[in-house]
Every structure is written in structure tokens, then in C-alpha cells.
Amino acid sequence: MKRQILTAVIVSCTTIGLVACGQDQAPVEEAAAPPAQEPTMLDRAVETAKDASDRVGAAATAAKDTASEAAASAMEQASVVGERAETEAKEMIEQVKSFLAEDKEDMARELMSKLSAMKDSVSETVRAEIERLEAMFSDA
């Protein structure tokens, strides 16, 4: 408020002084008000902030899209690895059964230790078969 009063007093004094000297008042008004066409520093700062915000938003969207694609790819790879482990476990189960039929118990036990390690990465059906074979070995 004090600044506005002080500014009004200064402008009034300047106007009175110029009128007293015989000069026109128009130059004072032109000097007091900045041209409406020229952007102020605040306008430029606001525009810069908007541009930066737009760039950050675009970067965030791009990062989100990339993360989504990476997650989808990782899920697909995990599925392939899981299917491969499942197939491998089934083949190993059949080999264990074959070794047992051929009385190659040492080879069957060695393969069973590998199967036991894989037990957590296979389906419930295969896990149940592995546990059934483990029970056979523990009974023997």
C-alpha cells in the first residue's frame, strides 16, 4: 500500500514538473507503463515453466510406456522359463522311473536330488509326482 502511494506521489510530482516546463504529459505515461506487446519476465517464466512441465509429462509417459513393455517382456520370459522347467522336470521324472526299472538306484537318487531342487519352480501336478518319488526313496 505504501509503495502504491509513493508511486502515485512520484508520478504526480513528475507530471506537475513536466507540465510546468511546458512538456506534454504523454511521454510520462508512455514511460510509466511498459508496452503491452512486450512479454514481461513473469510471462516468460510462466511459459518456460509450462514448457518444462510439458516435457516432464512427456518423459514420464514415455518412461511409463517403457516400464510397461519391460514388464510384459519379463512376464513372457518368466513364462517361457517356467514352461522349460516344467518340461525338463517331467523328462527327469521319466528318467528316474526308467532308472528304477533298470535297477540303477544311484543314478535315480542323483537325478532325484536335482528334481527336489526344482520342486518349487514347477506346477502342483509335477510337484506332487516329485514328492511321490521322494517318498519312494525315503521308504526304501
Q: What is the pTM of this model?
A: 0.48
Q: Is the dihedral of CA 55, 56, 59, 64 positive or negative?
A: negative
C-alpha–C-alpha distance, residues 97 and 130, integer Å? 11
Residue 118 C-alpha cell reads as: 526344482
Phi, psi of 102, rounded to the nearest 5 degrees: -95, 10
C-alpha–C-alpha distance, residues 129 and 139, integer Å? 15
Segment 13-66, tens digit of pLDDT: 666 665 556 545 455 555 555 555 667 888 888 888 888 888 888 888 988 889
Least confident interval from 35-39, 62-66, 100-104, 109-113: 35-39
Distances (CA, A) of 29 to 5, 13, 40, 75, 83: 17, 13, 18, 70, 82
Q: What is the DSSP code (8-state) at residue 21?
A: T
- DSSP assignment string, 32-81: HS--SSSPPHHHHHHHHHHHHHHHHHHHHHHHHHHHHHHHHHHHHHHHHH
